[in-house]
Amino acid sequence: MSETFDRIPAHLRQYVAVQDYSAYDEIDQAVWRFILLQTHDRLVETAHPAYAAGLGASGLSVARIPRIAEIDTHLARFGWGAVCVDGFIPPRAFQEFQALGILTIAGAIRTQEHLAYTPAPDIVHEAAGHAPILPDPEYRGFLERFGEVGQRAFSSPHDRAVHECIRELSVVKEDPLATPAQRSAAERALEELIAAAPAPSEAALLSRLHWWTVEYGLVGSPRDYKLYGAGLLSSLGESEACHDPRVRKLPLAASCIDVDYDITRPQPQLFVACEFAQLSEVLGEVAARFAQRRGGATAVETARASGEVATLALSSGVSTTGVVARASDAWVELSGPAALSFAGAPLAGCGSADLARGLAFPLGRLANGADPARLDASALIRLGVRCSPDELALEFASGVRIEGRLRDTIRAADGRVLAVVAGENVRATRGEEPIALPSRVIPLAGEVLSARAGAAHSSYWPASGFSEKRAPPPRVRPESERQLVALYRDALRLWERPGSPELVPGFMRIARELRAQYPGDWLLLWNLLESLRKIDAGIVLATMLRDDLLAVEASTPGDAATKAPIERGLRYLGFEPRRAR
């Protein structure tokens, strides 16, 4: 395994799959080549200059589907890496990988029916879209910072429901066995969920920024711009349609997070950054609104409303991890498992196994005005109401009172008391109201300085080994399609000797079999025609192939998913698309 694998925390290893390169057949390779030939031809002029150099620098070729291990090796020169994943992974995991400088690439590739666009993660989008701009240091740094902010941004139960709905829709749309009723039901479920959306969470706002920059971003000026967003760089349709004057080009600002997007339709506007450096500036403005950059009751309430595992940074220097179950101005309770860390390291005896039932702690100053986050053991003794050498009572300005037997204290290197370890009879109250203590460990918090999603230390999560799952999953084609794959294979074998006298007769035989058995399969027709155009041979056959392609185009006038790629493919070869006679 590469050095990239050594950098992956144990809890993320479960998402890494093994790329099974043998699972790509000749039709898959033709899909990659069709898209890359045309997008590259267009993008060397319209994309950011980093694209032209970055394609090869990141280990990509227009000729074949890349091996992700090769991309990993190439990106290592820039301090990044790449791993294969099996389709969708949780958004939080995606951001964690990005913060680590690791590009996650889905092993699957879109089908011929979804050449122009697919909502499912695939190797075209994630390799050809994201990788070519990574060699640019300014953009690469922005992605890392985005990952750091993203893994700390709170989502909502609604966000998680939308993610599952989108995942289900993408699976259904790419499944050749799915019925129209199943596809309609999945689309309707997503539409209904989006229509019922509450106020956007931090993660939802950040996903908008991701969409308008990383996925569909332009750089330059509204009148003179270049493409850099992965959704544009990897799409035959979007990389062309974005230049339509009806698509408004707006200067990028933090306010772009107020503009939602629809993944099922072309975007009516795009945002233009003046340069890559502005991306980090806008990210900073957006992140400044989040709980990870703010503290107090608002940050705690954001954590509670998310229902996610959260880390609260306390003024004592301690960080608590757990799900915020209850919170007030005086008290915070975390449901288990919980954990404590200090100075970036777990506190001994305060891990998720030790605090499996949760954690609770008071906020604010003591009744006499002292800051509990700044007390050493001697100060604690002076301030405590002691009934015997082993007992302690602390009263806070909020009215919270903790009293009972003191078993131990947890201290920092400078002697400050970070937490007290209570005995069996310790009680916590606020006025007459008792407060439950899930654990005998009680941090002396002081104030909450910030709140972020996720754990303070990766040891909080259960460890996992690298998955043995292979991607793409094996595709079992029916016998009729296996015969079609054989024709693609025959064409490639003939093309290995482009000067052979067998080439044109062989292509003629393949074209006749296609016409007789697979009249709707236009991609192989296009490959044959593209090959003949390269060597300027087989004029009669080339004319026949062109006419066959036009016939397929004409026979599906309402099917844009089929018609548009054929039109673009013919234009790429120098033919003006028109209806066959």
Residues 174-183: pLDDT tens digits?
A: 676 788 888 8
State pTM to two decimals.
Answer: 0.89
Residues 443-469: pLDDT tens digits?
A: 999 999 999 999 999 999 988 889 889
Residues 170-225: pLDDT tens digits?
A: 777 767 678 888 888 887 888 787 777 778 999 999 999 999 999 999 999 999 99
- Can you read off the two tokens belonging to residue 152? 């700390």
* Alpha helix segments (H runs only) across 101-156: 123, 137-150
* Domain range list for the chain: 3-156+198-282, 157-197, 296-460, 479-572
Contact present, 206 and 156 (Cβ < 8 Å):
no
Residues 26-80: pLDDT tens digits?
A: 999 999 999 999 999 999 999 999 999 999 999 999 999 999 999 999 999 999 9
Q: What is the pLDDT of residue 581?
A: 41
Q: What is the pLDDT of residue 580?
A: 43
Closest CA to 103 of 138, 140, 137, 136: 140
Residues 469-498: pLDDT tens digits?
A: 999 988 888 888 899 999 999 999 999 999
Rounded-to-integer distance, Cα 257 and Cα 271, Å: 11
Compute the mean pLDDT over every residue in the chain, rounded to the nearest whole number.
Answer: 90
- Can you read off the two tokens belonging to residue 106? 């889905």
Q: How confident is the model at residue 166 (pLDDT cuts 50, 70, 90)?
A: confident
Contact present, 84 and 15 (Cβ < 8 Å):
no
3-state helix, strand, coil in the chain (%, to 5): 45, 20, 35
- Of 319-323, 348-352, 502-506, 559-563, the range with the lowest mean pLDDT is 559-563
Count Cα neighbours of 467 within 13 Å in the Cβ-side half-sphere: 16
Sign of CA dihedral 233, 239, 243, 248: negative
Collect all residues with Cβ–Cβ distance below 8 Å to 391 and sequence separation of at least 6: 403, 404, 405, 406
Fold type of domain 3-156+198-282: Phenylalanine Hydroxylase (1.10.800)
Helix (H, G, I), strand (E, B), or coil: what is residue 332?
A: strand
Contact present, 95 and 123 (Cβ < 8 Å):
no
Rounded-to-integer distance, Cα 216 and Cα 137, Å: 19
Phi, psi of 411 (to 5 degrees): -120, 155
